[in-house]
Amino acid sequence: MGLPKIKQDATEARLSALDLPGGEGWTRAAREDALSRLQAAGLPHKRDEYWRYTDPRSLVEAEPPMAEALPEGDEGPIFGAHERLRIVFNDGQFDADASDDLSLEGIEIERLSQAAGADLHWARDLYGTLETRGQTPVARPLATLNTAFAQDGILIRVTGRPSKPVSLIYNHISDSSDVFLHHCVKVESGAELTLLENGAAAARLNTVLEVEIADTGKFHHVRAQGRDHARRAATAIFTRLGRESVFKSFTLTVNGALTRNECVIELTGDDAVAHVAGACVGDGDFHHDDTVFITHDAQNCESRQVFKKVLRNGATGVFRGKILVKKDAQKTDGYQISQSLLLDGDSQFLAKPELEIYADDVACSHGSTSGAIDEDALFYLRSRGVPEPLAQDLLVLSFLAEALAEIDDETIAEDLIARLEGWLARRRG
Amino acid sequence: MLEIKNLHVKLEEEDKQILKGVDLKVEAGKVHAIMGPNGSGKSTLSYVLSGRDGYEVTDGSAELDGAEILELDPEERAAAGLFLAFQYPVEIPGVGNMTFLRTAVNAQRKARGEEELSSGEFLKVVREKAKSLKIDADMLKRPVNVGFSGGEKKRNEILQMAMLEPRMCILDETDSGLDVDAMKLVADGVNALRDEGRAFLVITHYQRLLDHIKPDVVHIMADGRIVKTGGPELALEVEKNGYSDILNEVA
């Protein structure tokens, strides 16, 4: 059966505005494969069940809505004080002058746009592979679109324990930039990497991050999504974990008209651990969607999802999180919590937690709440002389604390808290 | 220092009168105790004075140093020198006790037009005061009241009082949930703050707290009014005979 006409038209309209990036070799083959998969699946439409709470139109249409970049220096750089290997993209264009030398002991770094001719068998095996696996049971066509049209990205093979994190910095320059970046990380057995991402990146950003973690490998990811008000972003992380491996990802989102962060995790080796967490704050024209799908397909694995959203002036938060425990995934420990703090009656939080369990010896829990500021706590703070607006802000940070505690590195967490404090202070005036 | 006249208060949400004409005058340097049976309006009085929502003043006034406070926001009353030690201190996850204390101290200083304390100065003072209340560095670092025992919460209230240096301190059943040792520690903290320029209003069910914090004046409250006022001996009388004798006597 073909696609519904409305989907087919939208997909064709989008594709007609894009050209497959040049180059021959293995990347070309992967792109062509993605293109044909996309033509079969079609781009998302708001009538799709998976897009029920988030209208994908502005992520799909050929022309990105305009989004102004906040002036430089409007806020201190995040992760600025950390020793890190910096890789800078301006509207998705690699900036060699602003970036550090791409060599570091314990890892190999290549750029996707340079990789076509190189014999990077590990990258060839990974690029688009986890994204393809992540299409079942739910299609994620924006990620497929990315695999086909990614302008650039970073390919990292981790063989040791590099002395510092790799830091991807995304500057947003043009009001109409439309950017696809696709990164692949292969963490070899026993190796360990921390990846940082920050910046608004573009008026419209589409990123895919594929992370394959071999037995006993560790991958930490901390992301601060840029705070330009009108920017839009659709991001997808696909990861597959081997035995005793660890994946931890945290995302802070401040502002942005539309953000859809998908995370697809497959636990395929026993005793693996996957944590994914996020905190967001939004005011007014802000729509933030976390969509997570975790598959337990091995024994004694742990997964944890912690998402907190602070919403005001009609902002919308969405959470969809699913834990699928396959028949043989005994001793699974799955935890999921999604909470929103609604600072006024106009904001809304839509949550759909799901559990699907086929094993009989598992411990899975999930919870979702929506609430206002705790009046007792507010009075307590005010009775100590803290003015109401400041007391409210302390309680917002208090609400977000459980999510922020998911970040292992305290100094990185402090950077993110400082950004939140800045956001709150600006609203306090 | 604190003068309450003919205070009438009802619940905002329902037609229920709680305070029915409270008259009370607390002078600087004095400790007044309010005792009374459950439901007599003691805690309501403390909440109304500190500005909690949910109550409606239908008549009367409350003045701190001659200035009406019932129209002020809770933070303005705090900056004016009023402090309420809570019966049930609130837990605030994710906000460090130290951050909370410093925010409160500096907010009050700012409201009074004083210089804010630097973190060095603040640390020095807080450590010294915490030590005398046996509050260790860990308790200062932990989130406000989270995972604190009943005794730790009450000691933390007294630490806040010591840091904020209010002139009018209201203690709402500070003895509830405390064992004898913890009560002694709290009472020592309060006694250390006794000063000619500072007054206390100690609300309690039982006389035993008053063994440690010696009051100058004791009031008995019943059904929304002060029904009897006397010296410390009044508390002993309550301890011995309960409230019913006194209530029968004034009825």
Number of domains chain A is built from: 1
Amino acid at A420: L
Reported as a pLDDT band with limits 50, 70 and 90, residue B240 is confident
- The minimal CB distance from A386 to the residues B50, B83, B107 is found for B107
Q: What is the 3-state secondary structure (H, E, C) of chain B?
A: CEEEEEEEEEECCCCCEEEEEEEEEECCCCEEEEECCCCCCHHHHHHHHHCCCCEEEEEEEEEECCEECCCCCHHHHHHCCEEEECCCCCCEEEEEHHHHHHHHHHHHHHHCCCCCCCHHHHHHHHHHHHHHCCCCHHHHHCEECCCCCHHHHHHHHHHHHHHHCCCEEEEECCCCCCCHHHHHHHHHHHHHHCCCCCEEEEEECCCHHHHHCCCCEEEEEECCEEEEEECCHHHHHHHHHHHHHHHHHHC
Which residues on B lie below 8 Å from A341 (Cβ)?
none
In the predicted structure, residue A143 carries a pLDDT above the cut 60: yes
Burial class (CB in 10 A: 0-12, 13-18, 19+), B241: exposed
Its domain, for residue A326, covers 5-373
Q: Are B64 and B169 in contact (CB under 8 A)?
A: no
User: Does the pLDDT of residue A23 top 90, yes or no?
Assistant: no
Helix (H, G, I), strand (E, B) or coil at A248: strand
Window A:365-394, CB contacts with B under 8 Å: 374-377, 379-388, 390-391, 394
pLDDT of A115 > 80? The answer is: yes
pLDDT per residue as tens digits for the range B207-227: 888 989 999 999 999 999 999
Lookup: tokens for A357? 């369990």
Under an 8 A CB cutoff, do B90 and A387 touch? no
CB–CB contact B160 A382 (8 Å):
no
With beta carbons less than 8 A apart as the criterion, state whether A208 and A261 touch: no
- The pLDDT confidence band at residue A22, using thresholds 50, 70 and 90, is confident
pLDDT of residue A234: 98
Query: A398 and B93 in contact by Cβ < 8 A?
Result: yes
Specify which residues B47 forms β-bridges with.
none
Burial level of B108, CB count in 10 A (0-12/13-18/19+)?
buried
- Structure confidence at residue B175 (pLDDT): 86
Q: Do B86 and A380 touch (CB under 8 A)?
A: yes
Instruction: Give the distance from residue A398's alpha carbon to the nearest chain B alpha carbon, in angstroms.
Output: 4
* pLDDT, chain B, mean: 91
For residue A417, is it within any domain?
A: no
Q: Name the one residue in this structure whose structure tokens are 């992540």.
A: A134
Instruction: Show the tokens assigned to A370.
Output: 């929506």
pLDDT tens digits, A213-227 = 999 999 999 999 988
Residue-wise pLDDT for A391-403, tens only, equals 999 999 999 999 9
Residue A45's pLDDT band (cuts 50, 70, 90)? very high
pLDDT bin (cut points 50, 70, 90) of residue B243 is confident
Q: Per residue in A334-365, pLDDT tens?
A: 999 999 999 998 999 999 999 999 999 999 99
Region A187-216 average pLDDT:
97
A336 in helix, strand or coil? Answer: strand
Q: What is the mean pLDDT of chain A?
A: 94
Question: Which pLDDT score is estimated for A129?
Answer: 97
Return the amino acid letter for A347: S
In B, which residues are within 8 Å of A395 by CB distance?
Answer: 92, 95
- Which residues in chain B have Cβ-Cβ distances shorter than 8 Å to A398? 92-95, 143
Q: How far is A340 from chain B (nearest CA, A)?
A: 16
Instruction: Show which residues on chain B lie within 8 Å of chain A, measured between beta carbons.
Output: 50-53, 73-75, 77-79, 83-84, 86, 89-95, 99-100, 103-105, 107-108, 111, 143, 160, 164
Is residue A421 included in any domain, yes or no?
no
Percent of chain A with pLDDT over 70: 98
pLDDT of residue B112: 87
Could you tell me if residue A403 is inside a domain?
no
Out of A16-25, A64-73, A388-397, B224-233, which region has the weakest mean confidence (pLDDT)? A64-73
Q: What is the ipTM of this complex?
A: 0.95
* Contact between B95 and A383 using a beta-carbon 8 Å cutoff: no
In tens, the pLDDT along A225-270 reads: 988 999 999 999 999 999 999 999 999 999 999 999 999 999 999 9
Q: Is B24 left (phi over 0), alpha (psi -120 to 50) or beta?
A: beta
pLDDT at A120: 87
Q: Residue A51 carries which DSSP code?
A: G
Q: Is residue A399, in this structure, part of any structural domain at all?
A: no
Partner-chain contact B103 A386, CB within 8 Å: yes
Q: Which of A351, A339, A275, A349 has the alpha carbon at shortest distance from A312?
A: A349
Q: For residue B181, what are the contacts with CB-CB under 8 A and spacing of at least 6?
A: none
Q: How confident is the model at residue A373 (pLDDT cuts 50, 70, 90)?
A: very high
pLDDT at B208: 85
Give a yes or no: residue A380 inside a domain. no
Task: Give A-chain residues touching B99 at CB under 8 angstroms.
Answer: 394
**β-pairing verdict for A204-213 and A232-241:** parallel
**Percent of chain B predicted with pLDDT > 70:** 100
pLDDT of residue B132: 83
Please enumerate in sequence order all residues whose Cβ is within 8 A of that of A339, keeping only pairs 6 or more positions apart, or say none.
A307, A308, A309, A367, A368, A369, A370, A371, A399
Domain assignment present for residue A358? The answer is: yes
pLDDT for position A24: 78
Residue A395 to residue B92, Cβ atoms within 8 A:
yes
Q: For residue A43, what pLDDT band results from cuts at 50, 70 and 90?
A: very high
Per-residue confidence at A75, pLDDT binned at 50, 70, 90?
low
Q: What is the pLDDT of residue A110?
A: 95
Nearest residue in B to A402, CA atom: B94
pLDDT tens for residues B144-182?
Answer: 999 998 889 999 999 999 999 999 999 999 888 888 888
Distance of alpha carbon B21 from the chain centroid: 20
pLDDT tens-digit series, residues B83-116: 999 999 999 998 999 999 999 999 999 988 999 9
Across the interface, do B73 and A382 touch by the CB < 8 Å criterion?
yes
pLDDT interval class at A76 (50, 70, 90) = low
Residue A73 pLDDT greater than 70, yes or no = no
pLDDT at A391: 96
The reported pLDDT for the residue numbered A74 is 56
> Is residue A129 assigned to a domain?
yes
User: What's the whole-number mean pLDDT along residues A82-99?
Assistant: 96
Q: Is residue A382 part of a domain?
A: no
Cβ contact, residue pair B78, A384, below 8 Å:
yes
Chains A–B, number of C-beta pairs less than 8 Å apart: 85
Mean pLDDT across A168-190: 96
Question: Which single residue is written with the structure tokens 């009046």?
Answer: A375
| A415 CA to centre of own chain | 18
* Alpha carbon of A397: minimum distance to chain B alpha carbons (Å): 7
Interface contact B107-A399, CB threshold 8 A? no
Q: Which pLDDT tens digit goes with each residue over B7-52? A: 999 999 888 999 999 999 999 999 999 999 888 999 999 999 999 9
pLDDT higher than 60, residue A109: yes
Token duo for residue A67: 């989004």
